[in-house]
Structure 1
Amino acid sequence: MVCELPPSQAAGDPCPDVEVIFARGTGEPAGLGRVGQAFVDALEPRLGGRTVAAYAVDYPASFDFLMAAEGADNAAAEIAAMASRCRDTRLVLGGYSQGAALVDMLAGVPPLGDVVGDIGSAPYLATPFADKVTAAAVFGNPSARFGTPLSTTGLFEGRAIDLCNPGDPICSPTGETMSAHENYEFPPYLDEAVGFVARLLV
């Protein structure tokens, strides 16, 4: 069973086997967002009965992209809290669109290539906390457009999957269709992400 955690979990609550920390995309209401919810729902049955909790990164996800750094700070705080309180819990970090950009920040990957631009910045994770992240999955990631996908760049290299529809102009330099940015909660992207992460959690 998947349970979504409140922004601050009581210290006495039991620790899950796996926690997914996911940042929603621009304009989505508070919570995991449609991609994050689909990802968690599809991942849980693949984990052989292990308990799964989901933490929705708390940030505005507005068109003021400088506020994405607030989300990076919030996710970093949750990772640190879980590293202290639930040392055996495996952490999965994820994000869609602007949410993927804040995951980039935590990995030390500039979301807009080699410039900060208008999306803000936040400190990357210290090594002990970065090492706590078992896997990362991002969808429609802006940094992929600039040749720095999370899968091959930054602190999560080798344990991250960065999924981009070739027609998506947010993550692909040849993308021209904004509607291509809207389908990451469906196959094949969802299946690829879940399969990749599940293998790392075995």
Structure 2
Amino acid sequence: MSARRIARKLGLVVPFAALVSAPVPLAAAQPPPPPPPGCPDVQVVFARGTGEPVGVGGVGQAFVDQLRAQAAPRSVDVYAVNYPASADFGDRIQFARTVVDGIRDAGRKVESTAAACPDTDIVLGGFSQGAAVAGYVTSAEIPEEVPAEYREFIPEPMSDEVGDHVAAVVLFGRPSDRFLTDAGAPPIAIGPSYQDKTLSLCAEGDTICNGAPIGLPSFAHNSYLMNGMATEGAAYAVARLQPAPPAPAPAPAPEPAPAPFGAPAPALGPAPFAAPAPPAPAPAPPAPPAPAPAPAG
């Protein structure tokens, strides 16, 4: 640990029950994501919601935009969790495998960043299905619902030391325990290392996260782009970042350029006096008086 460190539309379910119903191996392990060039002040790791295009998704982008604005002048790098965010709920085992792939990829990115950039603050987040992925990443142990013979397919929890590098966890529309239990999936247990730095935002009327029975998402589940919660989540994360680095000192003024070789050196001392001006000419003498007129004769 460095010296500075010391100072979810889930749509339907994360079907872990289906995952353990048959010994189906998970996808082959992928190498850890490479660290960004250089080390940013802040590394965002965000998992998009169900069916969103590759990237961080709409809610994720709104969150990132707000975080960049509020975290300035810190540098911010963004990593979109590499997983399908599949809406193929018909193939429950395959769907479970993709969620586990998301947990694995997000965890590896957090771990690789903590190792390569120990002074970088990591912000972990997700929306809907992605919020479930991010929440499971923080777990301190593999859920007890997973039988021992299948645990080799589940990523090991991250160490407490890695958790020290995570400044904040922000979850939008995280599936409720009721929702997950109805679906046969384990509830999300935020690990002890993350509990005091996790914000879980649930829009009013969002049936995915408000404890309603399992079902299709309500309109409110799609309201995070306009309800101000992206701004709220960013403010929560920024408040937990390390202080911004000091602004660089202004560059010194450049030295005057030397005179060209052979040019006369400027005179030293006072400038010579100018020659006095010649005196003004004397005024012209007055004209002689006119002669008197001759007498009449």
Normalising by the residue count of structure 1, what TM-score does the alignment of the two structures yield? 0.82
Secondary structure of the equivalent of 2:239? helix
Q: What does residue 3 of structure 1 align with?
A: none
Q: Is 1:98 equivalent to 2:136 in the alignment?
A: no
Q: How far 1:42 moved relative to its partner?
A: 0.7
- Match of 1:141, SS state, is coil
- 1:68 equivalent in alignment to 2:99: yes
The answer for unaligned runs of 5 or more in structure 1 is 1-6
Structure with greater helix percent: 1
Deviation per CA, 1:130-188, whole angstroms, max 9, x where unpaired? 221110100010146569777x7643111010000131111112488611111212232
Query: Quick one: which of 159, 162, 165 aligns to 2:203?
Result: 165
Which residue is equivalent to 2:108?
A: 77
Task: Give the strand-richer structure, 1 or 2.
Answer: 1
Which AA in structure 1 matches 2:80? A
Q: Percent identity?
A: 37
Larger radius of gyration: 2
Distance in 1, matches of 2:42 and 2:48, equals: 19
1:48 aligns with 2:72: yes
Q: Which amino acid aligns with 1:104?
A: G
What is the match of residue 166 of structure 2?
Answer: 133
The match for 1:198 is 238
Q: Could you tell me which residue of structure 1 aligns to residue 14 of structure 2?
A: none
Does the residue aligned with 1:28 lie in a helix, a strand or coil?
A: coil
The number of equivalent residue pairs is: 189
Q: CA deviation at 1:121?
A: 6.0
On the 8 A contact 2:47/2:131 being kept in 1, the answer is yes
8 A Cα contact 2:34 2:112, kept in partner: no
2:123·2:168 contact (CA, 8 Å) conserved in 1? yes
Other-structure match for 1:4: none
Distance 1:137 1:10, change over 3 A: closer
Residues 122 and 8 of structure 1: CA distance in aligned 2, closer, same or farther (over 3 Å): closer
CA pair 8-115 structure 1, distance change in 2 beyond 3 A = closer
Root mean square deviation, CA, Å: 2.8
What is the rounded CA distance, in whole Å, between the counterparts of 1:122 and 1:181 in structure 2?
A: 29
Residue in structure 1 matched with residue 221 of structure 2 by the alignment? 181
CA distance in structure 2 between the partners assigned to 1:128 and 1:153 by the alignment: 13
Alpha-carbon distance in 1 for matches of 2:70, 2:144: 37
